[in-house]
Structure 1
Amino acid sequence: MKPRTHWLRALTVVLVGALTIAVGSACGLESGGALPLPVKPGSITEHEDLKGAKLTVGSKDFTEQVILGYILEFTVAAAGADVRDLTNIQGSNSARDAMLAGQVDLNIEYTGTGWINYLGNEKPIPDVAKQFEAVRDEDLAENDVVWVNPAPLDNTYALAVNQSNLRKLGVTKISQYADLVKQNPAAATTCLETEFRSRQDGFPGMAAAYGFDPGAAQTQILQTGIIYQATANGNCAFGEVFTTDGRIKALNLSILDDDKSFFPHYNAALTMRKETADAYPSLAVVTKPVLDALTSEEMVELNRQVDVDGREPADVARDWLVQKGFVTT
């Protein structure tokens, strides 16, 4: 049965949202407040329906999502909106519930997450365009959530291994990883984040697709950012990663081939409640060129600047928009 929003989840997200505002962003920028940096119009100009519009932008709590949240905030601010920052909401379901409960007006979401995690479908659609269309149509019909402007950016899950374990274990694809779990689970120690360990488009679904018992795997739950270094150090033989994370290249990790094409496409797109889309039709217009410019390669570099170079996500987001000419400072 597909999940439905109800009053208890709405109450939960009110409490989560209040906590998020209280504790602030992990990057040191106050969440639930004003825009962290000023921007002025560039190629994005003011639109009449957005002038003075009070809009809250949300994001999840990992690096890429926080960067995307700021990119979205600066974009709509340059178009005239009065933006409230609610980036860094912990967990996909909390971020989604914040939108459904009306705490967040718009955010950037991923098609695979929408299709599997929110809408309850079990199998992804291999074609990128058809996957977007299916999510767009079903989420609008069932939840009054509008999806527009899918980006080339496709940030999917993967398993990574360091070069030493790659040579020692000879595992280059997930089917070989599955064999290793079945034959020698002690050699297949795997670092995972909590959400991936429980999501149907995560570890349990991958185990079912590749024919191994997820309970037999020796897994360790870590925070997302710690997994990369733990995998590089060999604390775990394998680690769950996001394919657009800049630390993969920086730490010289190798990605296992998803040889059964289990993981869905996770193309980024603008999502908002239908009442928001109807009230502010220019949102789809001003965000389209920005999302069109967001490729996986661009996102790897933006993520690298935060996670490897230690820059603030808001600075990285604004500099990218300025470089592309979308906004000025």
Structure 2
Amino acid sequence: MRSLRRRAAALAASGAVLAGCGLTSATTFVPDAGPAAIEPIAAVEGEPIAVGAKNFTEQLILGKIAVIALQVAGFDVTDRSGIPGAAPARAAMVEGETDMQWEYTGTGWINYLGMPKGIPDQQEQWRAVRDADAKNGITWLPPAEANNTYAFAVRSEAVDDLGGVATLSDIAALPVEERTFCVESEFATRPDGFEPMLETYGIPLGDPQGVPRDNVSILDTGAVYTATDSGELCNFGEVFTTDGRIASLDLTVLEDDRGYFPAYNIAPIVRTETLEEYPEIADVFARITPLLTDEVMIELNGRVDVAGEDPADVALDWMVSEGLVSRG
């Protein structure tokens, strides 16, 4: 397996396509960093490891955090940031094209393991997905406090015009023509996504007395936020609770008062065979994960999505500020 990972690393470095998951080389910019709380590990010096990350802001930041940390620890890291979606990211892990990535407990439980319903209790959800995914050769290391679950938001200036809407249940009291939504394509089709959420709140999709399909706009993730802020396409937009654009656009997040959305705590996951070969990986992430809170992720995400900074620079700045690494 070590030689296989070396060959995968060499392919990635040359810009080759890993055809099994349709992965192509992502941006490989990683700023120089030196040791601090994370120190070089003699036993892993020069050993290859591949880090995956999906292609949205939070994942790109977390991916760079992992790459920087593992490079400082001494690994020869292949950066596979920018994998287009949850399914290809999962396939890359299962098939050995990546060795580790940050994942979300609810995504693992529902999307990857096919469970019909999430578990609202955060620790219980992590333990459940950890135990169930072990048979697939994936180890879930302890999760962060940060819980990037789904939510719906409304532009704050429209709250009073919409009858003081504060919860998802309140949407059912609005006239049908005001029940307009902007969602991204993945959420629109997920088993823990949009259609079952509407069922839970008694306003089924496609029902003239619920949410007519013409009331729903499918947009790219970034466009959902701007459309929700403008109010032209929709009153209610799908958001992620750790997204920095919620605050910058002055959106109000509605309470999930029926507890529909499961816990989506961030956790590092590692191929079990990789972790068994290099158990020091767990020690590296044990220094990082406890520092990741909702507030931290909102700030870091905002620096990219609002201020336009590079995810790699944001990752390094934060790690230096926490004493994890030093500037190289």
Contact 1:149/1:284 (<8 A) preserved: no
User: TM-score when scaled to structure 2?
Assistant: 0.89
1:194 alignment partner in structure 2: 185
Q: Distance in 1 between matches of 2:32 and 2:291?
A: 21
Q: Give the 3-state SS of the residue equivalent to 1:204 in structure 2.
A: helix
1:80 alignment partner in structure 2: 74
Pair 119,13 (structure 1): closer, same or farther in 2 beyond 3 Å: farther
Matches within 5 A, 1:49-198: 49-141=43-135, 143-170=136-163, 171-180=165-174, 184-198=175-189
Q: Distance in 2 between matches of 1:174 and 1:289?
A: 37
1:276 alignment partner in structure 2: 274
2:210 is aligned with 1:219: no
Q: Give the 3-state SS of the residue equivalent to 2:109 in structure 1.
A: helix
Report deviation, 1:36.
2.1
Q: Distance in 1 between matches of 2:305 and 2:251?
A: 15
1:3 alignment partner in structure 2: none
Report deviation, 1:48.
2.7
Identify which of 195, 219, 223 aligns with 1:204: 195
1:5 alignment partner in structure 2: none
Q: Distance in 2 between matches of 1:262 and 1:51?
A: 45
Contact 1:14/1:98 (<8 A) preserved: no
Report deviation, 1:169.
1.2
2:222 is aligned with 1:228: no
Report deviation, 1:15.
5.3
1:240 alignment partner in structure 2: 238
Contact 1:178/1:207 (<8 A) preserved: no
Q: After the TM superposition, which parts of structure 1 deviate over 3 Å for at least 4 consecutive aligned residues?
A: 15-18
Q: Deviations over 1:35-89 (max 9, x none)?
A: 5221111110111332111111111111011101001111111111111111111
2:304 is aligned with 1:306: yes
Report deviation, 1:188.
1.4
Q: Distance in 2 between matches of 1:139 and 1:80?
A: 28
Unaligned 5+ runs, structure 1: 1-11, 25-29
Q: Distance in 2 between matches of 1:85 and 1:127?
A: 33
Q: Give the 3-state SS of the residue equivalent to 1:17 in structure 2.
A: coil
Q: Give the 3-state SS of the residue equivalent to 1:69 in structure 2.
A: helix
Report deviation, 1:211.
2.5
1:6 alignment partner in structure 2: none
Contact 1:13/1:94 (<8 A) preserved: no
Q: Distance in 1 between matches of 2:274 and 2:284?
A: 14
Q: How high is the sequence identity, in percent, across the aligned residues?
A: 46
Contact 1:89/1:95 (<8 A) preserved: yes
Q: Distance in 2 between matches of 1:187 and 1:133?
A: 40
Q: Distance in 1 between matches of 2:249 and 2:119?
A: 32
Q: Distance in 1 between matches of 2:41 and 2:196?
A: 44
Contact 2:120/2:261 (<8 A) preserved: no
Q: Distance in 1 between matches of 2:172 and 2:73?
A: 49
Q: Distance in 1 between matches of 2:188 and 2:315?
A: 30
Report deviation, 1:179.
4.2
Report deviation, 1:274.
1.2
AA of the residue aligned to 2:88: S
Root mean square deviation, CA, Å: 1.6
Q: Give the 3-state SS of the residue equivalent to 2:74 in structure 1.
A: coil
Q: Distance in 1 between matches of 2:297 and 2:307?
A: 14
Contact 2:30/2:68 (<8 A) preserved: no
Q: Distance in 2 between matches of 1:275 and 1:15?
A: 20
Q: Distance in 2 between matches of 1:14 and 1:268?
A: 28
User: TM-score when scaled to structure 1?
Assistant: 0.88
Q: Deviations over 1:248-287 (max 9, x none)?
A: 0111100011000110111111112111111110111111
Unaligned 5+ runs, structure 2: 1-16
AA of the residue aligned to 1:126: P
